[in-house]
């Protein structure tokens, strides 16, 4: 019997790691991966709550989150490729102008 | 039952004329302009005559209410007009003399630019003056009061491209305003204590108040403040300084406004408010003192002036002093009598002076005139009549009125021999400087330069000159010539009035005005009201009046003799006397440096204070600085904030994370509290 | 007891993977750490009884999305992260902010939370139940997400297509 809060703390740690990665990392792909990490953390907390309340809709929500994350990853990576083509760089700090 | 006389038409007719000329006059021919101006002014005069004709059948005072104006609770002021003997006298003088001067001005201003503008302003002046005279409450009178000040400003500064004229207009208006401030405070006191500004109500309330013999009270305050206003408008000490400068205006303006009508508004106002003054002996005394001192002061300045119009200006101030002296000894009717005769002879003097100036081509310095009586006989004879009138020789008009004043100054319960003595001395001085003017202008050898060309004392647009070389005009007359008939006819009419105007006599005049001026008097004994002749006073009887009359005629004659001596017989004497008097003479010639003193004491500190405190201190350093600094501050803030928009992804993310942390902390804090 | 043990072990693996993601300088290493994280998360889901989700996690997340990431890393030839001027704000405010926030939340959860315990396999397991939910109660979101995925695919194709191959179309079109 694991207290729910342990799951939530784990989820929080994952989320925090994701945010930190977003703030620290310079490679834009790695930044993207930190976003995925954040999403995973959130998914965990969804399922944990669903388990506690015996509500299946939590699981279904996780399903949808994953689908959306997939779509987002797809489009995001495509954008990264487009940006790389014009900027020749994957460094987040160099991509700071709105105009291409 | 009061017939409706349509009193409101009298002021409004000139107003219509002014509007038409003002709005459309630029396109009219000169004939049309003068027709409109003279027509409406004449119509007002005709109406005044018509009212005079039916005067005896009217119940007086006759009040006509045109429209309501202010209704504020209990306080009520209407556009209402008031007719009684006093206002009838003023009405006839203003419209009559005004019409004559209008006619004169047609000739005088014929070659001037802005012809229509001049007549528009003249008619406008008539409107305001008539409003002042016919008003039935102090507020409407004040409207007229201010309006004539405006008209004076417009007309004095008629040649506004000339600096001195523009400044003179400003000076006139500003000094008037100082007086008006006193007038306003008096009005406020009246509103507060009497609840009304209507003559009828105010006089009724004041009539029930006791005389303030025990000390200064409300009525003294009101009286003194009204006197401040009158001093400003009628050029008494210490607010007279605008009148000599106002001679920058065209001569008809000087005649109408600064001799016959506007400056007499103060006297009219004091006479109208006699109910107040009769109960405030201190105020009356102040009025008399101011009047007497002004008369003397201005006369002393007048004897040394060299500009013909300036002499007449100081003479006006001096004669106004006489009128206030009369009012100050509660001899209001004598003051009004002198007002009327003064309008005749002073108006004539100015118009004739204008004719003289016109004749010599714009020269106004008397030292450059002389011997003109051969060239301009009509002007000479009319001016002679006026000079004798003002000096107070019998049987001219000035004699009767000035003598009435001097007698009352001596014999009235408020009078004293001091007033009389100063009055007689001033009469001597008046006679002296007027005859000095007469001799210098018309006798002796001609000392001027105007032989060729015909200029006037007006201005061509590109700076004219007054001393000597005028530009010849198209209709080039040559030499010194008489004025055209249109200018001479008013001169003649006024000369006749100067001779005959006093023959009505002071006693009959007093009797005519007594219902207006003695109603509600309690401080005065009833003898004055009943008797037609001067009542038996604690002082002398009719015999001494004859003695005093003789003395004043003697004074006038001595002035004539002295002027003849100094300027005709031994022309080198004036220089020697001037040298002998040295510094005192210099002071008098420079008008006792009053203008300089005012400039240093009032004007300069005001300008400096305004510059340093209001402009630099408040406007620039506070208001502008606030705006500039707030704009600057906004710019600096945005300059600092601009760095937030760095375009750097991580910066944005950092802010979001920090903000989220703050929100979480807040939630935790409120949740666990 | 065993539950707690398994939970702790795989939780630690999760966290280790996450930290490794932060620490590694080459993106490919970060990607692989992320795969590890996802794997251990799948085990956590299993512990909770969400078998379907665990399976989907492994198949979709670890198997498809991460593969996509790896492909892109390979495509773009992303190398070792270069040093560049970071963001002061991110360092000064962001990271401490995150840490503070997490600590606060963790404290609240551990010290004050009144949530109960979760048993092993607390959720009903068979996919049949989830399928029922998906096609009955959540039909609309389901359909919408399928459209969303379609759009995402099209968008990705358009965005990532080579500009050279596009331009002739533009000139002709």
| pLDDT single digits (tens) B462-475 | 333 343 334 433 33
CB atoms within 10 A of CB B285: 15
Q: Which of B654, B656, B668 faces C108 most closely, judged by CB atoms? A: B668
CB pairs under 8 A between B and C: 61
Q: pLDDT value at position B520?
A: 43
Say yes or no: C171 contacts chain B, CB-CB below 8 A: no
Closest to B2 measured CA to CA, from B86, B92, B82: B82
Most A CBs within 10 Å, among C3, C13, C21, C138, to test the A interface: C21
Q: Are B429 and B302 in contact (CB under 8 A)?
A: yes
| Distance from the Cα of residue B314 to its chain's centroid | 13
pLDDT band at residue B76 under the 50/70/90 scheme:
confident
Token pair for B244: 């000599």
Residues 6 or more apart whose Cβ sits within 8 Å of residue B471? B453, B455, B460, B464
CA distance B643 to B521: 86
Give the pair of three-digit tokens for residue B232.
């400003």
pLDDT-derived band at B350, boundaries 50, 70, 90:
very high
Q: Which of A9, B670, B656 is nearest to C103 (CA)?
A: A9
Q: Does pLDDT of C86 surpass 70?
A: no
- Range of weakest confidence among B36-40, B64-68, C167-171: C167-171
pLDDT of C85 higher than 80: no
Report CB contact under 8 Å: C90, B672: no
CB atoms within 10 A of CB B377: 12
pLDDT computed for residue B214 by the predictor: 59
Specify the DSSP class assigned to residue B306: -
Contact B45, B94 (CB under 8 A): no
Instruction: Report how far apart, in Å, the C-alpha atoms of B367 and of each of B51, B442, B568, B578 are.
Output: 47, 11, 13, 15
CA angle in degrees (0–180, nearest 5) for C141-C147-C152: 120
- Which residues 6+ apart lie within 8 Å of B534 measured at CB? B407, B411, B507, B542, B545
Query: How large is the average pLDDT for residues B195-221?
Result: 81
pLDDT at A12 over 90: yes
pLDDT greater than 60 at residue B523: no
What residues are paired with C118 via a beta bridge? Answer: A2
C-alpha distance from residue B169 to each of B142, B164, B166, B238, B243 (Å): 20, 9, 5, 18, 10
pLDDT surpassing 60 at residue C168: no
Averaged pLDDT, B7-26: 88
Distances (CA, A) of B443 to B404, B415, B544, C162: 32, 40, 38, 116
pLDDT at B451: 54
Question: What mean pLDDT, rounded, does chain C reach?
Answer: 84
Q: What is the mean pLDDT of residues B574-578?
A: 77
For residues B452 and B478, is the Cβ–Cβ distance under 8 A? Answer: yes
Around Cβ C142, how many Cβ atoms within 10 Å?
17
Asked if the C-beta of A20 comes within 8 angstroms of chain C's C-beta atoms, the answer is: yes
Over residues B141-168, the mean pLDDT reads 91
Note the pTM of the prediction, 2 decimals.
Answer: 0.69
The predicted structure's pLDDT at residue B398 = 86
Judged by a CB distance cut-off of 8 A, whether residue C124 touches chain B is no
pLDDT digits (tens, 9 = 90+) for B641-673: 887 777 778 888 888 888 899 999 998 889 877
Give the integer Cα–Cα distance in Å for C43 and C57.
10
On average, the pLDDT of chain B sits at 83
Q: Which of residues 53-92 of A touch B (CB under 8 A)?
A: 92
Mean per-residue pLDDT, B317-329: 91
- Judge contact between A9 and A75, C-beta under 8 A: no
| Residue B457 pLDDT exceeds 60 | no
- Cis check for the bond before B238: say yes or no (omega within 30 of 0): yes
CB within 8 Å: A19 and B649: no
Residue B146 has pLDDT above 70, yes or no: yes
Choose the closest CB to C98 out of A20, A51, A57: A20
Nearest partner of B181 among B228, B239, B144, judged by Cα:
B228
Region B46-58: what's the mean pLDDT? 86
Is pLDDT at B453 greater than 90 in this prediction?
no
> Where are chain C's structural domains?
1-83, 87-113, 123-163
What domains can be seen in chain A, in order of their start residue?
4-87 (1.10.287.3510)
Nearest C-alpha in B relative to A31: B650
Of B646, B656, B661, Cβ closest to residue C100: B661
Q: Which alpha helices (H) appear in B55-114, and where do they start and end?
A: 85-108
More confident residue, C113 or B102: B102
How many C-beta neighbours within 10 Å does residue B655 have? Answer: 17
Other residues' Cβ atoms within 10 Å of the Cβ of residue B24: 14
Q: What pLDDT is stored for residue B527 in this prediction? A: 34
Which range among B30-44, B202-216, C17-31 shows the weakest confidence by mean pLDDT?
B202-216
Instruction: Give the pLDDT confidence of B81-102 residue by residue, as tens digits.
Output: 988 888 899 999 999 999 999 9
> Using an 8 Å Cβ cutoff, are C117 and A4 in contact?
yes
In a mutational test of the A interface, the residue from C145, C153, C158, C164 whose CB has the highest number of chain A CBs within 10 Å is C145
Note whether A23 contacts C91, CB cutoff 8 Å.
Answer: yes
| pLDDT at site C162 | 74
Q: Which of B44-53, B192-201, B591-600 has the lowest mean pLDDT?
A: B591-600
State mean pLDDT over B298-323.
90
Bridge partners for B190 per DSSP: none
ipTM of the prediction: 0.90
Residue C105 predicted with pLDDT over 90: no
* Options 3.30.70.20, 3.40.50.970, 1.20.120.1200, 3.30.200.20; CATH of C1-83: 1.20.120.1200
Q: What is the pLDDT of residue B124?
A: 93
B506: phi > 0 → left, psi -120 to 50 → alpha, else beta; which?
A: alpha
B653 in contact with chain A, both atoms CB, cutoff 8 A: yes
Tell me how far the alpha carbon of residue B47 is from its chain's centroid. Answer: 25
The label of the residue with tokens 């909770």 reads C48
Q: How confident is residue A39, by pLDDT bands cut at 50, 70 and 90?
A: very high
Strand ranges (E), B196-280? none
pLDDT at res. B470: 40
Res B263: pLDDT? 82
Q: With bands split at pLDDT 50, 70 and 90, how would you rate the model's confidence at A65?
A: very high
On whether the CB atoms of residues B342 and B312 are closer than 8 A, the answer is: no
- Angle in degrees, 0-180, between the axes of helices C2-23 and A28-53, rounded to the nearest 10: 160
Could you tell me if B455 and B470 are in contact, meaning their C-beta atoms sit under 8 angstroms apart? yes
What is the rounded CA–CA span in Å between residue A63 and residue B190? 92
Q: Is the pLDDT of residue B340 over 70?
A: yes
A27 has which bridge partners? Answer: A91
Average pLDDT value for residue range B353-366:
85
Helix-strand-coil split of chain A, %, nearest 5: 80, 5, 15
Chain A hits for B655, Cβ within 8 Å: none
Of the pLDDT bands very low, low, confident and very high (cuts 50, 70, 90), residue B604 is confident
Residues of A in contact with C19 (CB under 8 A): 17
Q: Provide the shortest C-alpha distance from residue A15 to chain B (in Å).
A: 12
What mean pLDDT comes out for the span B127-134? 93
Pick the most confident of B210-219, B340-349, C107-116. B340-349
Q: Do A22 and B650 make contact, defined as CB atoms within 8 angstroms?
A: yes
For residue C77, the model assigns a pLDDT of: 83
């Amino acid at each position: 019997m694991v207290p729910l809060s342990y799951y939530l703390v784990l989820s929080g740690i994952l989320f925090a790691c994701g945010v930190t990665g977003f703030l620290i990392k310079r490679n834009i792909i790695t930044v993207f991966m930190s976003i995925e990490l954040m999403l995973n953390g959130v998914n965990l907390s969804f399922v944990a709550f669903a388990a506690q309340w015996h509500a299946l809709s939590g699981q279904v929500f996780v399903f949808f989150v994953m689908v959306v994350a997939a779509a987002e990853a797809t489009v995001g990576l495509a954008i990264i490729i487009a940006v790389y083509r014009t900027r020749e760089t994957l460094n987040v700090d160099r991509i700071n102008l709105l105009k291409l | 039952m009061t017939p409706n006389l349509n009193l409101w038409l009298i002021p409004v007719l000139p107003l219509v004329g002014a509007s038409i000329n003002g709005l459309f006059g630029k396109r009219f021919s000169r004939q049309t302009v003068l027709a409109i101006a003279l027509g409406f002014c004449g119509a007002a005069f005709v109406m005044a005559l018509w009212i005079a004709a039916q005067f005896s059948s009217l119940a007086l005072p006759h009040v006509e209410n045109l429209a309501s104006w202010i209704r504020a609770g209990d306080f009520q002021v209407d556009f209402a007009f008031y007719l009684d003997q006093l206002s009838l006298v003023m009405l006839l003088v203003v419209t009559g003399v005004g019409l004559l001067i209008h006619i004169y001005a047609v000739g005088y201003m014929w070659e001037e630019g802005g012809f229509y503008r001049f007549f528009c302003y003249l008619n406008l002046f008539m409107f305001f003056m008539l409003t002042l005279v016919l008003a039935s409450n102090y507020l409407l009178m004040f409207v007229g009061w201010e309006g004539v000040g405006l008209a004076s400003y417009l007309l004095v500064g008629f040649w506004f491209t000339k600096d001195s004229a523009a400044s003179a207009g400003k000076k006139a208006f500003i000094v008037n305003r100082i007086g008006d401030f006193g007038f306003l405070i008096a009005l406020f006191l009246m509103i507060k204590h009497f609840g009304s500004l209507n003559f009828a109500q105010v006089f009724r309330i004041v009539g029930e108040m006791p005389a303030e013999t025990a000390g200064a009270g409300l009525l003294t305050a009101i009286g003194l403040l009204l006197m401040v206003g009158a001093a400003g408008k009628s050029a008494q000490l210490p607010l007279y300084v605008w009148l000599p400068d106002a001679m920058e205006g065209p001569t008809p303006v000087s005649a109408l406004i600064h001799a016959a009508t506007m400056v007499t508004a103060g006297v009219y106002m004091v006479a109208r408010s006699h109910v107040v003054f009769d109960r405030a002996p201190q105020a009356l005394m102040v009025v008399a003192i101011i009047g007497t001192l002004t008369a003397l002061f201005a006369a002393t300045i007048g004897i040394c002036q060299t500009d013909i119009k300036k002499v007449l200006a100081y003479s006006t101030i001096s004669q106004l002093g006489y009128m206030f002296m009369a009012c100050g000894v509660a001899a209001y009717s004598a003051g009004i009598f002198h007002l009327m005769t003064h309008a005749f002879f002073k108006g004539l003097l100015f118009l004739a002076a204008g004719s003289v100036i016109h004749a010599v081509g714009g020269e106004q310095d008397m030292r450059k005139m002389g011997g003109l009586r051969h060239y301009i006989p009509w002007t000479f004879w009319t001016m002679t009549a006026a000079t004798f009138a003002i000096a107070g020789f019998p049987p001219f008009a000035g004699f009767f009125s000035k003598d009435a004043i001097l007698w009352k100054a001596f014999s009235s319960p408020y009078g004293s021999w001091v007033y009389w003595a100063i009055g007689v001395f001033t009469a001597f001085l008046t006679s002296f400087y007027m005859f000095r003017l007469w001799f210098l202008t018309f006798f002796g050898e001609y000392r001027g330069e105007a032989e060729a060309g015909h200029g006037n004392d007006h201005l061509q647009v590109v700076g004219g000159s007054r001393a000597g070389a005028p530009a010849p005009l198209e209709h080039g007359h040559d030499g010194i010539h008489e004025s055209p008939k249109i200018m001479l006819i008013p001169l003649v009419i006024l000369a006749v009035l100067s001779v005959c105007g006093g023959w009505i006599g002071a006693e009959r005049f007093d009797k005519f005005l007594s219902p207006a001026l003695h109603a509600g008097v309690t401080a005065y004994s009833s003898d004055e009201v009943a008797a037609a002749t001067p009542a038996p006073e604690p002082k002398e009887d009719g015999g001494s009046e004859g003695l005093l009359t003789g003395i004043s005629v003697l004074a006038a004659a001595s002035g004539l003799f002295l002027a003849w001596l100094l300027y005709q017989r031994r022309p080198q004497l004036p220089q020697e006397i001037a040298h002998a008097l040295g510094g005192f003479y210099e002071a008098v010639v420079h008008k006792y440096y009053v203008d300089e003193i005012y400039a240093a004491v009032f004007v300069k500190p005001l300008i400096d204070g305004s510059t340093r405190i209001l402009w630099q201190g408040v406007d620039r350093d506070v208001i502008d600085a606030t705006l500039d600094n707030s704009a600057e501050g906004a710019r600096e803030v945005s300059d600092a904030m601009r760095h937030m928009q760095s375009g750097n992804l991580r910066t944005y993310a950092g802010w979001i994370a920090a903000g989220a942390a703050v929100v979480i902390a807040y939630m935790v804090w409120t949740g666990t509290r | 007891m065993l539950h707690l043990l398994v939970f702790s072990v795989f939780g630690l693996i999760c966290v280790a993977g996450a930290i490794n993601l932060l620490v590694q300088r080459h993106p490919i290493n970060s990607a692989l750490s992320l795969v590890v994280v996802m794997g251990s998360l799948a085990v956590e889901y299993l512990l909770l009884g969400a078998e379907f989700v665990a399976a989907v996690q492994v198949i979709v997340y670890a198997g498809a999305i991460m593969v996509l990431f790896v492909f892109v890393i390979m495509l773009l030839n992303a190398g070792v992260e270069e040093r560049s001027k970071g963001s002061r704000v991110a360092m000064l405010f962001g990271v401490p902010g995150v840490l503070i926030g997490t600590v606060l939340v963790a404290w609240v959860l551990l010290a004050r939370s009144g949530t109960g315990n979760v048993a092993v396999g607390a959720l009903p397991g068979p996919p049949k139940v989830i399928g029922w939910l998906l096609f009955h109660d959540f039909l609309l979101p389901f359909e919408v997400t399928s459209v969303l995925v379609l759009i995402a695919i099209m968008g990705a194709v358009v965005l990532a297509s080579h500009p050279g191959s596009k331009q002739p179309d533009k000139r002709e079109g």
